[in-house]
Chain A
Amino acid sequence: MFWRKRNAEDFAEEIKAHLELETEDLRNEGLSPEEAQWRAKRAFGNVRAVQEQFYLRGRWQWLDRIARDLRIGFRSLRQSPGFALTAVLTLAFGVGANTAVFSVMNAVLLRSLPVADPSRVVYLRPSNPPRNTGTIASEETISYPVYAELHREVRAMQSVMAYVPLATGKVAVRFGAVPEEAEGEMVSGQFFSGLGVGMAVGHGFSEPDETNHAPLAVLSYKYWTRRFERDPSVAGKTLYVNSVPMTIIGVAAKGFEGVETGQSADFWIPLQNRPELNAYANPPDDGKLYIANPKWWCLRLIGRLAPGVSKEQALAQLQPVFQAAAYTGLGNPQQGEKLPVLRLVDAKSFPGYESSYGTPIRVLMMMVSLVLIIALSNVAMLLLARNAARKREFAVRLALGATRAILLRQLLIESLLLVTGGGALAWVFAVFASRTLGLWARIETSLAPDRTVLLFTLGLLILAVIVFGLAPLRIALAAGVTPAIKTSQATAHADAGQSRTGRIVVVMQMMFCVVLLVGAGLLIRTLRNLEQTPLGMDVNGLVVFGIKPNTQALAETNAFYRELLAKLRVLAGVQDATIMQERLGSGWSANNNMKVDGRLSEVANGESRTVRSNVVGPDFFHTLGVPVLMGRDFTSSDTSNSPHVGIVNETFVKRFLHGQHPLGHRIGPASINWDMEIVGVVKDHKYRSIDEDPIPMAWYMYAQIPVLGEMQVELRVHGNPLEIVPTAAKVVAEMDPNLPLIQPMTQRAQFDTTIAQPMLFARLAGFFGLLAVLLVATGLYGVLSYRVNMRTAEIGVRMAVGARRAQVVWMIVKDSLALTAVGVFTGAPLAMLIGQALKRSLYGVKALDAMSYLIAVLGVGAIALLASAMPAARAASVDPLKALRVE
Chain B
Amino acid sequence: MTTQRKSDDRIALLQGTLDLLILKTLVFKPCHGQGIARSILRHSEEVLFVDHGSLYVALQRLEDRKWISAKWGISENNRKARFYCLTAKGRAQLVEKSSEWRRLTRAMGLILEAGEGPQGEEA
Chain A residues with a Cβ under 8 A of chain B: 1, 6, 11, 14-15, 17-18, 20-22, 24-25, 42-47, 49-50, 53-54, 57-58
Contacts and interface: CB of A to CB of B under 8 A. Distances in A.
B117 interface: no
B66 A1 contact: yes
A57 B60 contact: yes
Contacts of B60: 6, 11, 54, 57
B54 interface: yes
B54 A45 contact: yes
Interface in B51-84: 51-54, 56-57, 60-61, 63-64, 66, 69, 75, 77, 79-82
Nearest to A58: B64
Given A50-B56, A54-B57, 19 more contacts: A1-B66, A15-B56, A17-B32, A17-B79, A17-B80, A17-B81, A18-B32, A18-B34, A18-B81, A20-B79, A21-B34, A21-B77, A24-B79, A42-B4, A45-B54, A46-B53, A53-B57, A57-B64, A58-B64
Interface string B24-60: 0000000011110110000000000001111011001
A21 B52 contact: no
Contact of A44 (B38, B52, B81, B82): B52
Contacts, number: 65
A45 B81 contact: no
A21 B53 contact: no
Nearest to B82: A14
B40 to A, nearest CB: 12
A22 B52 CA distance: 10
Contacts of B51: 43-45
Given A43-B52, A44-B52, A44-B53, A21 B81 contact: yes
B92 to A, nearest CB: 18
A22 B69 contact: no
B61 A57 contact: yes
B34 A22 contact: yes
A49 B53 contact: yes
A50 B54 CA distance: 7
Contacts of A43: 37, 51-52
Contacts of B75: 21
A367 B116 CA distance: 75
Q: Which of B53, B54, B64, B81: most chain A Cβ within 10 A?
A: B53
Interface string B1-38: 00010000000000000000000000000001111011
Q: Which of A18, A25, A45: most chain B Cβ within 10 A?
A: A18
A17 B84 CA distance: 14
B101 to A, nearest CB: 25
Contacts of B38: 25
A49 B54 CA distance: 10
Nearest to B34: A21
A2 to B, nearest CB: 11
B52 A45 contact: yes
13 contacts: A6-B63, A11-B56, A14-B81, A21-B79, A24-B77, A25-B34, A25-B38, A43-B37, A45-B51, A54-B60, A57-B57, A57-B60, A57-B61
A14 B69 contact: no
A6 B84 CA distance: 14
A43 B33 CA distance: 13
Interface string B77-98: 1011110000000000000000
Contacts of B77: 21, 24
B78 to A, nearest CB: 10
A17 B51 CA distance: 16
A15 to B, nearest CB: 7
Contacts of A44: 51-53
A783 B60 CA distance: 54
B1 to A, nearest CB: 12
Nearest to A40: B52
A42 B1 CA distance: 13
A14 B57 contact: no
Contacts of B57: 50, 53-54, 57
A18 B64 contact: no
Contacts of B69: 1
A1 B32 CA distance: 19
Q: Which 6 A-B pairs have the closest CB atoms?
A: A45-B53, A44-B52, A50-B53, A21-B34, A14-B82, A18-B34
B66 A18 contact: no
Contacts of A1: 66, 69
Contacts of B33: 14, 18
A358 B75 CA distance: 83
Nearest to B4: A42
Contacts of A14: 33, 56, 81-82
A53 B64 CA distance: 13
Nearest to A43: B52
B82 A47 contact: no
A45 B61 CA distance: 18
Contacts of A11: 56, 60
Contacts of B54: 45, 50
A312 B80 CA distance: 84
A18 B52 contact: yes
Contacts of B32: 17-18, 21
B35 to A, nearest CB: 8
A42 B63 CA distance: 25
Nearest to B49: A43
A20 B80 CA distance: 10
A376 to B, nearest CB: 43
Contacts of A20: 79
B61 A47 contact: no
A598 to B, nearest CB: 103
A35 to B, nearest CB: 15
A43 B40 CA distance: 14
Nearest to B69: A1
Nearest to A21: B34
A43 B56 CA distance: 12
Given A17-B80, A21-B32, A47 B53 contact: yes
A15 B32 CA distance: 11
Nearest to B51: A45
B104 to A, nearest CB: 27
Nearest to A25: B38
B123 to A, nearest CB: 35
Contacts of A42: 4
Contacts of B63: 6
A58 B63 CA distance: 12
A18 B79 contact: no
Nearest to B33: A18
Nearest to A24: B77
A18 B60 CA distance: 14
A57 B66 CA distance: 14
A204 B35 CA distance: 82
Contacts of B66: 1
A46 B35 CA distance: 20
Contacts of B80: 17
A22 B38 CA distance: 9
